[in-house]
Amino acid sequence: MSDVNTIKGLWKTLYPDHSVELLEKFFEQHTPLSGVSDANDWYKEATVYALYVDLFNTDFQGLIQKLDYLHDLGISCLWLLPILDSPMRDAGFDIRNYDMIRHDLLGLPTTATKEDQAIVFKHFLEEAHHRDIKVIFDVAINHTSDENPWFLESKKTTPNKYSDFYIWRDEPNEYLDARLLFKGIEDSNWEKLGERYYFHRFFSFQPDLNYRNPEVLLSMTKNLLYWQQMGADGFRADAIPYLWKENHTSCENLDKTHVIVKFFRAVLDYIKPGTLLLAEACQKPTEVVKYLGDGDECHAAYHFPLMPMMFKAIAQQNATPIRHTLSSEVTPEIRESNQWMTFLRVHDELSLELVYVSEEDRHYIHSNYCHDPKWDFRVGEGISARLSELMKRNPDKIALSYSLMLTITGTPVVYYGDEFGKLNDENYYQEQIQFTGKDDTRFLVRGRIDWQQVEKDLSQSENFHAVVFNFIHGMLNARKNHPAFGRGKTTFLDVCDANGILSEHILAYYRTTVDERLLIINNLSDREIKIKNPVADEDLAIIFPKGMRVEDPDNTIVLEPFGFVWLLLLD
């Protein structure tokens, strides 16, 4: 539980030359919610489903109609990709108004008031919560749209309250050591407007906020509190490493960026404990864990390096990339209250940034999975393709990849449509190029769901989409009955083949808590493998098998190509 003194201390660290009077006035308007219980770590046992409301099923009413489908799938938390008011030049990450949802998502006319919006959104939250589904959504805290009212005022030559909300210079001669994040799309971090330049780390139409101005910090905090009090269960803090800028640095992961994150967390905890703050920090684990702080920054963070290493392990048919990535050499221990988020695909590219992969790994993964030159993103730094396309529409490899993602560590994130093998959407890609004026290949991995076609596909048992769905539906529902998948410690196990030779093709690990022991065995290879049963002397139950059988009398486990099994060890 946070207190005002903690928050004031963070304020003084950020703004030693500013009075706390501004902060005190802020707290006169924002007081703790009554009747709120202490925080809990619900996110540790969650299964997250990421979706665009409009692309998934038109609007919030359409999403409500699919909540039973999601609940039946085994989902317990929705991550709503950008829903706030936006010109939609970057899929909603270019936010125009932080206290409004896009009218089209609500089924409301553009003349609808904030009160009208609140009624619709609260109804959706109630329907989701009624099904025990939490709801979090994206907030881009580093930058806004160039159509944001703050920016429209800031760019005026006449000084006003918002003049210093963004980073303006007469010449683009500062922050030159900040890397270009959108290489191949943007050619500079500075954009000229009139006689001045403004700084941006992402698209040129997304100016960075100036957190050296305390009004910016309070304005963003106010926006988070607005949605928290409406009932949102958490926020994905987009582009979190870039908040604070200092000249002659990379402008990433700076100390005061962490102080800003601590401030957000402290205020959210003070008003209503238990609101998830999820870090989107595309960095090495040694840097990412810093955004968890001492339990006083974000609750959870994505494990970005693990994602490409799962793809590498499957391509190499070798367990080493995953085991090495999750070793203490690469991934530090995190506090009991914190959590990793694991994923195979999300709305972005299969990221291969040199921040957390080597040049050798990047080349290897790119050459093994970029099956179409069109999928290339940022000149070799990523691959824009759906999971089913990356795996060449092979249901066995898709199922294996999900076995890894769902069991190896942390809280899993399912990307909408992947549960039935949604393909790249060429039509949507071309449509968005015309709309945005940017050739952003990530639009390939988005696209709308045609539920009428999906239902037709799923009704045909031999259909590719039905086969994938049946595998993933089964795994998701098996997983939710075993808390150790979300809370357990991961311990790798060396496994020998039937000839007693250590097998590099088998990735096996225990997931253990005080109350539960699980053993997962995955065959990463494209051939059948016989292994000695590593728990032959223990009683066990099969949780989920695919391509697995036991041969008597020697109790040998046989795993078909890309086969796997999840086991519960009984006391």
Give the model confidence (pLDDT) of 18-29 as tens digits: 999 999 999 999
pLDDT for the residue numbered 44: 96
Q: Considering only CA atoms, which of 93, 72, 74, 71 is closest in space to residue 82?
A: 93
d(CA 126, CA 118): 12
Strands (DSSP E) found in 251-297: 276-279
Q: In the chain, list all ranges with CATH 3.20.20.80.
A: 42-143+220-479
pLDDT for the residue numbered 37: 57
Contact 542, 552 (CB under 8 A): no
Task: Show the low-confidence residues of the chain (pLDDT under 50).
Answer: none
d(CA 249, CA 403): 41
Q: In the chain, list all ranges with CATH 2.60.40.1180.
A: 488-569
pLDDT for the residue numbered 439: 85
CA-angle at 353, arms to 351 and 354, nearest 5°:
150
Which residues are catalytic, by number? 238, 280
Q: How far is CA 10 from the centre of its chain?
A: 27
- Whether pTM > 0.75 for this model: the answer is yes
pLDDT for the residue numbered 356: 86
Secondary structure class of 371 (helix, strand, coil) = coil
pLDDT for the residue numbered 184: 80
CATH 3.20.20.140 is right for the domain spanning 488-569 = no
Contact 95, 137 (CB under 8 A): no
Q: Angle at which helices 255-271 and 214-230 pack, to 10 degrees?
A: 40
Q: Considering only CA atoms, which of 304, 300, 305 is closest in space to residue 278?
A: 300
Backbone phi, then psi, for 90, in 5-degree steps? -130, 50
In angstroms, the Cα distances linking 37 to 7, 76, 227, 270, 339 are: 21, 20, 18, 12, 21
Please, which residues have CB within 8 angstroms of residue 24's CB and are 6 or more apart in sequence?
A: none
**Which CATH architecture fits 42-143+220-479?**
Alpha-Beta Barrel (3.20)
Residues forming beta bridges with residue 168, ordered by sequence position:
198
pLDDT for the residue numbered 318: 98
Q: Long-range pairs for 362-370 at CB < 8 Å and ≥24 separation? A: 364/312, 364/315, 364/316, 365/308, 365/311, 365/312, 365/315, 368/311, 368/312, 368/315, 369/311, 369/315
Encoded amino acid at 383, one letter? I
